Structure 1
Amino acid sequence: MKKLSIVKIGGNIIEDETALNAFLKLFSNLEGYKILVHGGGKRATNIASRLGIESKMVYGRRVTNAETLEVITMVYGGLVNKNIVARLQALQVDAIGLTGADINSIMSEKRPIKDVDFGFVGDVKQVNHNGVNKLIEANFTPVFCAITHDGHGQLLNTNADTIASEIAIGMSHIFETSIYYCFELNGVLRDVHDKNSVIKHMDTNLYAELLAEGVVSDGMLPKLENCFHALRHGVKTINLGNTSMLSQENDSFTRITL
């Protein structure tokens, strides 16, 4: 089975020109079929503030009213996405920028109101793996921003980590898929005060032990739960670490398997 790498980057990389350029060079050199997924929340917050629009966060998630959705669409789907695509073209990667609405690639439903009304936030329901595969077969490299749609004309803000995992799950019908979550740490740390205490391999048994010991907590919990969800639904491997894990010279990152 052909292999496909899904690489996700967050706002810390996007906001650092040097880090972004270094990452895109590594991504361009990544062998085989690949997809890039990006967020852009920090840039959206900054531009919303300049426009006099207050950004509201609950449990670390953005509440997306109609005004905020307009900003997110402009920033994620326009400013950030097209800058990344242009830079990849300069690196000889034939990239194509997408939202989930393009070629009906990612269908979501508006998150139901429970304790919090998150507004125009979408939970992924379906990935059009055949449509995305047509782009890959045509030698395009998809670059997805964190926007999906509901099939009825409504765009929805969707967590970029979730988009990466759901794309990997969907594309596992065709490819052996792996996810690379690039963030500021070297991987999952056994000791949060020691950046070199990277857990190089984690499976379900070790994860249960780390949970019991309280080693895994706070913001890492939802990220790892997302990882194991993807693994249980067809994804082969998931990798967490800084961008240098895309280089064959670095083996200090966390690889997660079942």
Structure 2
Amino acid sequence: MREKITVVKVGGAVVEDEAKLARLLCGFCDIEGRKVLVHGGGRRATQVAAQLGIESKMVNGRRITDEQMLGVVTMVYGGLVNKNIVARLQACGVNALGLTGADMDVIRSHKRPVKDIDYGFVGDVERVDGDKLRMLVESGVTPVMAPLTHDGKGTMLNTNADTIAGETAKALAAHYDVTLIFCFEKKGVLADPDNDNSVIAEITRPDFGRYVADGTVAGGMIPKLENAFGAIDAGVERVIITLADAIDGKHGTVIR
């Protein structure tokens, strides 16, 4: 039986809310065994950019990252947000190490090609070095990964945190039994969007097809679940969609 590891992704809405962040980190500290935390921080980047007189431009929820904004997200994601989380985890006994994709060359990306929209310095992941992450984990380190990668040519790239979490989980699946947990504003995937307690306990691929066909799953939840099944297809054992304060693996929707 392979050793277990848990990869938790937490978004900026939690990172920037002190009470929610405290509960998330408490839950993360309580996770037994090996673990990795991937975080966002977009709202904080928008706030810092505004303080510096830099306009934030978004298209379909995605940040346009020009040279000035690249400097902001590198400072905020790789510095302010990442190191705050690392310090908080160290305080509760977790030997955390903050990483961007450039550190140890753990995540290499290429700049997103310009099609209809030029997103600027935004990276699409090419590879995650699971062997190097395994080396850290096996030495007792808990990686805390910021949503930044690099192109191998000296340029940092702003990269979607969900993507980093998914690709990291896939890379670690070569070595571990991986559980990937996405923190979400709801308790899980809901059978009734107006009833927060109507959590669907488990979804398989055939279930997914039926739920899309009958409208139970719609809108932005469709790509979330497609990404979850992509991770399953790549060897991740299970994906859980749940609240940030319920990451013990016993709550939310399990994707298998």
TM-score range (shorter-chain normalised) is: over 0.9
- The structural deviation recorded for 1:53 is 1.1
Identity rate, percent: 50
- Relative to the length of structure 2, the TM-score reads 0.97
Kept after mapping to 2: 8 A contact 1:108/1:148: yes
- The structural deviation recorded for 1:226 is 1.1
Q: Tell me, in whole angstroms, the C-alpha distance in 1 between the residues paired with 2:141 and 2:127.
A: 21
- The structural deviation recorded for 1:225 is 1.5
Q: Which runs of 4+ in 1 moved over 4 A?
A: none
Moved more, 220-229 or 31-40: 220-229
Kept after mapping to 1: 8 A contact 2:101/2:107: yes
Aligned to 1:97: 98
Aligned to 1:80: 81
1:256 aligns with 2:255: yes
Q: Tell me, in whole angstroms, the C-alpha distance in 1 between the residues paired with 2:174 and 2:84.
A: 31
- How many residue pairs align between the two structures? 255
1:202 aligns with 2:233: no
Q: Tell me, in whole angstroms, the C-alpha distance in 2 between the residues paired with 1:51 and 1:4.
A: 40
- The structural deviation recorded for 1:2 is 1.0
Gaps spanning 5+ residues in structure 2: where? none
Q: Which residue identity is paired with 1:73?
A: T
Aligned to 2:226: 225
Kept after mapping to 1: 8 A contact 2:239/2:255: yes
Secondary structure in 2 matching 1:246: coil
Aligned to 2:68: 67
1:40 aligns with 2:36: no
Secondary structure in 1 matching 2:246: helix
- The structural deviation recorded for 1:247 is 3.2
Q: Tell me, in whole angstroms, the C-alpha distance in 2 between the residues paired with 1:192 and 1:119.
A: 35
Superposed CA RMSD? 1.0
Kept after mapping to 2: 8 A contact 1:161/1:223: no
Kept after mapping to 1: 8 A contact 2:20/2:245: no
Aligned to 2:137: 136
- The structural deviation recorded for 1:29 is 1.0
1:16 aligns with 2:17: yes
Q: Tell me, in whole angstroms, the C-alpha distance in 1 between the residues paired with 2:251 and 2:155.
A: 42
**What is the CA deviation profile of residues 27-72 of structure 1, one whole-angstrom value per residue up to 9, with x for unaligned ones?**
0110010000000001101111111111111121111111111000
Q: Spell out the pairing of 1:102-121 with structure 2 (5 A cutoff).
A: 102-121=103-122
Kept after mapping to 2: 8 A contact 1:12/1:183: no
Aligned to 1:125: 126
Q: Tell me, in whole angstroms, the C-alpha distance in 1 between the residues paired with 2:123 and 2:72.
A: 16
Gaps spanning 5+ residues in structure 1: where? none
